[in-house]
Amino acid sequence: MVLLILFGFLAGAGTALSPCVLPVLPIALAAGATGGRRRPLGVVVGLTLSFTFATVALVYLLAALGLPDTLLRTIAIVALLGFGAALLVPPLAARLEGWLSRLVPARPAAADGDGFGSGLLLGASLGLVYAPCAGPILAGVITVSAAQPFTAGRLAVALAYGLGSALVLYALMRGGRRLAAPLARRGAGLQIAMGAVMVVVAVAMLANWDLRFQSTIADDLPAFLVNPTGSLERTRAARDALAGLRGGGGGIAAAAERSSGSGAVQRLAMEGGAAADLPVIGRAPAFTGTQRWFDTPGDRPLTLAGLHGRVVLIDFWTYSCINCLRTLPYLEAWDARYRRDGLTIVGVHTPEFPFEKDAGNVAAAIAREGIRYPVVQDNDAATWNAWGNQYWPAEYFVDARGRVRFAHFGEGSYDEKEHVIRALLAEAGHAPGGGSARARGTSAAAGVTTPESYLGSDRDARFANGPILPGRRDYGRGPAPRPEQLSYSGEWTVAGDRATAAGGTLALNFRARHVYLVLGSPGGPRDVRLRLDGRPLTARTAGADVRGSAVHVQGQRLYELVDLPAVGRHVLRLEPQAGVDAYAFTFG
């Protein structure tokens, strides 16, 4: 944790030198050049505290109330607008300064204050604006904060990040104050000018011009300027520290990866092989922090203690993951074949996107896929973290005594997994009988080279447009995507986990046979027009969800867009109606 706190401090300091600081910089310089001598210190304290509060504590509040992430930015803009407007009227600014000074008990209030109180308020506003600048280190803390108990360690990392940024801004403010010293005799005029700067910046932020400007310059700047701490945050030490904080990278999952289970399964397939060849990886963690259960008697929760004596297969999945969906026919076949012989399959649905937390969406997916075995919602990833899991799909095989004996991550190896089921059933005294489940499913085609591609700003990669920043932006005509690249054209509103069409198009240069895309259409159904290599899709190339070279988006789920006769290199262009949400491409 100490190492992660140090990384957080350095990452915060580096972020203060990146393009993300541009909306904050003019306001910070204005605050340093005007007001009492302690105003810069007040700004530093206010920014650090509000930034820490916004990135850790408010996560719980926003999640609990279902409020939009943009609420903090709106509040900050309103506060900055009000503060700037007050500076435009010197008498009002003096009264505000005096009132705020009385709120700080450390020093007696003066007629015009010493600037600390107003700096504290201004810094608090800046902290809310600055929160979206947090890089991967702090993002790791924010991601788990709402899903796991609040800890002093997570608070310390966020505090270190905010402090690192605030100290760099403090140095800039002190430097700006020295440069502005010759103008001190014109203090009233300088204060009015600085107030005007704040109002202009607040109005620009209200129109998202700051985000557009950041995106524009980020396209042309070297990577080390866009994200000065990127190399630090990608170090193995930082990744390991984050993995420990998230709860991943350890526990049963790590032990399973270290075990020699694969060799043991191969021996099972040989004549005379038995479950005794399988190692004991560890005690299976309980289902914890779960929500609604499906396909159980009365939809009541199951427990591993209550399943003692049965062989249990735990499957971590999510309904928008194509790799997970391709495993379902095998799981369903094993459930039908071996349930009466002592097997219980439990699907732990741990969502990747927010809409997958909706119980109605999960129920619809269960019905659509024909799942009859128990499924439980793990919306906060509590059970996922208890197992130390890191993969979709991931399957853990638990014997009749509650011990994990084998695990497999990803698709494939279905014959081996059925051998494990049969061996564990036999070990428990259940006779699985002769004959396999005869499961049939699909798998990814050989020769696919295009990796999973996310459309939000949190995990953007391979965009011909350059770095993708959050906010609304007009990408113009957009560059032509090279192999394995994507390209936005026209207007899009980008969030951390998705992009919402606002009249723009999206091009994808891929090599695969099947193309899938997670889509949603809040507020009502909308269409997405498709063109493959410049032509409408035909019955020979259209995916299962395409009709007339268009997808009719109703529910939030994975849609199959393209189904080619063979793997090949193509360019797919999407023309969605305004309001369509797009999350991530997968391929097969």
Provide the CATH number for the domain around residue 407.
3.40.30.10
446 within a domain of the structure (yes/no): no
Q: Do residues 505 and 515 make contact, with C-beta atoms less than 8 angstroms apart? A: no
Tens digits of residue pLDDT in 354-396? 889 999 999 999 999 999 999 999 999 999 999 989 888 999 9
Partners of 560 in the beta sheet?
516
Partners of 586 in the beta sheet?
516
Q: Do residues 164 and 9 make contact, with C-beta atoms less than 8 angstroms apart? A: yes
Final residue belonging to a domain, choices 185, 213, 243: 243
Final residue belonging to a domain, choices 225, 243, 261: 243
136-145, 219-228, 514-523, 526-535: the lowest-pLDDT one: 136-145
Q: Strands 453-454, 394-398: parallel, antiparallel or unpaired by DSSP? A: unpaired
276 within a domain of the structure (yes/no): yes
Identify whether residues 323 and 367 lie together within a single domain: yes
Identify whether residues 223 and 328 lie together within a single domain: no
User: Mean pLDDT over residues 304-317, rounded?
Assistant: 95
Question: Widest CA span of the chain, in angstroms?
Answer: 96
Distance CA 503, CA 128 (A): 30
Q: What order of strands is seen across the sheet that includes strand 403-409?
A: 282-283, 403-409, 394-398, 311-317, 343-349, 375-377, 293-294
Higher per-residue pLDDT: 465 or 127: 465
Distance CA 435, CA 323 (A): 27
Identify whether residues 189 and 52 lie together within a single domain: yes
Distance CA 483, CA 450 (A): 8
Tens digits of residue pLDDT in 18-29? 656 666 666 666
48-57, 167-176, 273-282, 563-572: the lowest-pLDDT one: 48-57
Residue 111: pLDDT band (50, 70, 90) is very low
Identify whether residues 204 and 286 lie together within a single domain: no
Identify whether residues 459 and 524 lie together within a single domain: yes
440 within a domain of the structure (yes/no): no
Does the structure show a pLDDT above 50 at 128?
yes
Identify whether residues 182 and 58 lie together within a single domain: yes
Does the structure show a pLDDT above 80 at 346?
yes
Final residue belonging to a domain, choices 227, 243, 259: 243
Q: Do residues 170 and 41 make contact, with C-beta atoms less than 8 angstroms apart? A: yes
The tally of domains found in the chain comes to: 3
Contacts of the segment 260-268: beta carbons below 8 A, 24+ positions apart:
261/405, 261/406, 261/407, 262/416, 264/406, 265/406, 265/413, 265/416, 265/417, 265/419, 265/420, 266/416, 268/416, 268/419, 268/420, 268/423
Identify whether residues 318 and 194 lie together within a single domain: no
Does the structure show a pLDDT above 60 at 127?
yes
265 within a domain of the structure (yes/no): yes
Reduced to 3 states (helix: H, G, I; strand: E, B; else coil), residue 580 is coil
Q: What is the mean pLDDT of the chain?
A: 78
Q: Which range marks the domain in which residue 504 is found?
A: 453-587
Identify whether residues 478 and 359 lie together within a single domain: no
434 within a domain of the structure (yes/no): no
Identify whether residues 421 and 487 lie together within a single domain: no
Identify whether residues 460 and 385 lie together within a single domain: no
Higher per-residue pLDDT: 372 or 73: 372
439 within a domain of the structure (yes/no): no
Identify whether residues 203 and 270 lie together within a single domain: no
What CATH number does the domain containing 538 carry?
2.60.120.260
Tens digits of residue pLDDT in 197-213? 778 877 877 776 665 55
Cα 230 to chain centroid distance, Å, stands at: 17
Q: Which CA distances in Å does 305 have to 312, 401, 421?
A: 11, 9, 19
Tens digits of residue pLDDT in 384-394? 999 989 888 99
User: Mean pLDDT over residues 45-63, rounded?
Assistant: 67
Does the structure show a pLDDT above 90 at 400?
yes
Residue 145: pLDDT band (50, 70, 90) is very low
Identify whether residues 236 and 310 lie together within a single domain: no
Tens digits of residue pLDDT in 323-344? 899 899 999 999 999 999 999 9
21 within a domain of the structure (yes/no): yes
Q: What pLDDT, on the 0 to 100 scale, is given for residue 302? A: 94
User: Mean pLDDT over residues 536-564, rounded?
Assistant: 95
305 within a domain of the structure (yes/no): yes
